Amino acid sequence: MPTARPRHMVTETDELAVALDAAAARAPGLSRSQLLTRLALEGHQAAQRAHDERRQRRLAALRAHSGGLTGVYGSDYLQRLREEWPA
């Protein structure tokens, strides 16, 4: 079928064949190329979910520790620190 979109050629390795066979069991009736497309999209979605979950954990950690050192240094801390520096 003519298209202006890029095409990709993929060799079916042993590992890819196993993945395609498993995908065929979940979605019978699809061609190997359709299964490959489905696997690529599912992999992208899984990677995006993992990225989003890591981001949420990092943000939660930042929120949990935010303000933990409030008041530790005092309002004149920088001035006192600078006074210690050699001129």
pTM assigned to the model: 0.71
Instruction: Count up the domains in the chain and report the number.
Output: 1
Interhelix angle 14-26/32-65, nearest 10 degrees: 90
Q: What is the pLDDT of residue 86?
A: 86
Q: Could you say which DSSP state residue 72 is in? A: S
75 occurs within a structural domain: no
Amino acid identity, residue 51? H
Q: What is the pLDDT of residue 42?
A: 97
2 occurs within a structural domain: no
58 occurs within a structural domain: yes
19 occurs within a structural domain: yes
Of 59, 12, 71, the residue nearest 36 (C-alpha): 12
83 occurs within a structural domain: no
Task: Please give the residue range of the domain that contains residue 44.
Answer: 14-66
**pLDDT per position in the chain (87 positions), as tens?**
789 999 999 999 999 999 999 999 999 999 999 999 999 999 999 999 999 999 999 999 999 999 999 989 999 999 999 999 987
